[in-house]
């Protein structure tokens, strides 16, 4: 499962608190529609719940929020509401910014695809079929921008910094999906240059019924490989002191002369007293 929210800013909306209209609006304002998904009008709400690695407590992904790499290394749980108990679902998780927002030559990168999901009474999706693409968590490379997206309380004023880093879509699964999908997507299919629209068309999935997205930056964005070239550490550069031996030799000689004069004066006093 995936784990916790980094920087849960107060103006971000948790998925469980948003409506289908909120999701569609956020996707549109973020440029997911039409740049990643040409058509999308959410008819359900998706909750993605990770397990926080530090507290082991459930963590619900925030729509347009931030997660760390460590928080996303195990597969999360998915909840869809409303959902039909008779309907099967397909879940696709991918990165439209691979390897970075500045260079999308590997996009889309497929992190997970699974089918045969059914919803329980609480909307929890479970399946008993092998994944078409096994889950691997996000791992943006050093030097990549931290992919932030700010979603104020007024959706029409969304400020887009970069396109979303990580995107999960849920589709209604057609009856022939299990028979056709393995020939199109399997363990030998490269994860890079995936196209969710082509995948959907090949298998007759249609438009997604719901989805969510979040942002994840590299673990150490300011390392030696950073485009800015900023060093990782300049420890001691402002507090270093010269060693004692660095004192000028003329000063040492002056101190010796003074000491000799004092010693001579003291000897003269002693002789006079005698």
Beta carbons within 10 angstroms of residue 203's beta carbon: 19
Q: Is the pLDDT of residue 151 over 50?
A: no
Q: Give pLDDT, residue 50.
A: 94
DSSP annotation of 267 reads H
Q: Is the pLDDT of residue 183 over 90?
A: yes
pLDDT tier, 222 (very low <50, low <70, confident <90, very high otherwise): low
Beta carbons within 10 angstroms of residue 43's beta carbon: 14
pLDDT tier, 16 (very low <50, low <70, confident <90, very high otherwise): low
Q: Give pLDDT, residue 10.
A: 35
In the predicted model, what is the mean pLDDT of residues 155-166?
49
Beta carbons within 10 angstroms of residue 33's beta carbon: 18
What counts of helices (H) and strands (E) characterise the chain? 5, 14
Q: Is 27 helix (H, G, I), strand (E, B) or coil?
A: helix
Domain borders along the chain are 5-215
Between residues 125 and 246, which one has the greater pLDDT?
A: 125
Q: Give pLDDT, residue 165.
A: 78
CATH of 5-215, one of 3.20.20.70, 3.20.20.140, 3.10.25.10, 3.90.280.10: 3.90.280.10
In degrees, to the nearest 5, what angle opens at C-alpha 53 toward C-alphas 48 and 59? 30
Range in 45-54, 131-140, 184-193, 264-273 the model is least confident about: 264-273
pLDDT tier, 142 (very low <50, low <70, confident <90, very high otherwise): confident
Q: What is the pLDDT of residues 76-114, one digit of tens each?
A: 999 999 999 899 999 999 999 888 888 889 999 999 999
Give percent of the chain with pLDDT exceeding 70.
Answer: 66
Give the Cα separation of 236 and 40 in Å (integer): 55
Say which residue the tokens 């749980």 belong to.
77
Joined together, the tokens standing for residue 242 give 């010269």
């Amino acid at each position: 499962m995936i784990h916790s929210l980094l920087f849960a800013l107060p103006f971000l909306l948790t998925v469980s608190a948003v409506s289908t209209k909120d999701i569609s609006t956020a996707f549109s304002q973020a440029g997911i529609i039409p740049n990643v998904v040409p058509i999308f009008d959410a008819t359900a709400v998706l909750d993605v719940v990770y397990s926080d690695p530090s507290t082991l407590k459930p963590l619900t992904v925030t729509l347009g929020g931030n997660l760390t790499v460590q928080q996303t290394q195990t597969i999360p749980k998915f909840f869809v509401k409303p959902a039909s108990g008779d309907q099967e679902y397909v879940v696709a998780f991918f990165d439209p910014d691979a390897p970075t927002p500045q260079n999308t030559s590997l996009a889309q990168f497929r992190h997970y695809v699974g089918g045969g999901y059914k919803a329980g009474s609480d909307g929890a999706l479970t399946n008993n079929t092998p994944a078409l693409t096994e889950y691997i968590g996000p791992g943006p490379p050093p030097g990549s921008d931290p992919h932030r997206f700010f979603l104020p309380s007024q959706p029409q004023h969304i400020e887009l910094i970069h396109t979303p880093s990580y995107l999960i879509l849920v589709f209604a699964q057609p009856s022939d999906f299990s028979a056709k999908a393995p020939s199109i997507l399997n363990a030998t299919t490269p994860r890079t240059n995936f196209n969710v629209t082509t995948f959907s068309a090949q298998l007759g999935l249609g438009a997604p019924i719901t989805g969510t997205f979040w942002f994840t930056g590299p673990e150490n964005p300011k390392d030696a490989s950073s485009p800015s070239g900023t060093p990782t550490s300049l420890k001691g550069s402002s507090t270093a002191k010269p060693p004692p031996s660095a004192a000028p030799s003329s000063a040492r000689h002056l101190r010796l002369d003074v000491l000799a004069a004092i010693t001579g004066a003291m000897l003269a006093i002693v002789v006079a007293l005698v």
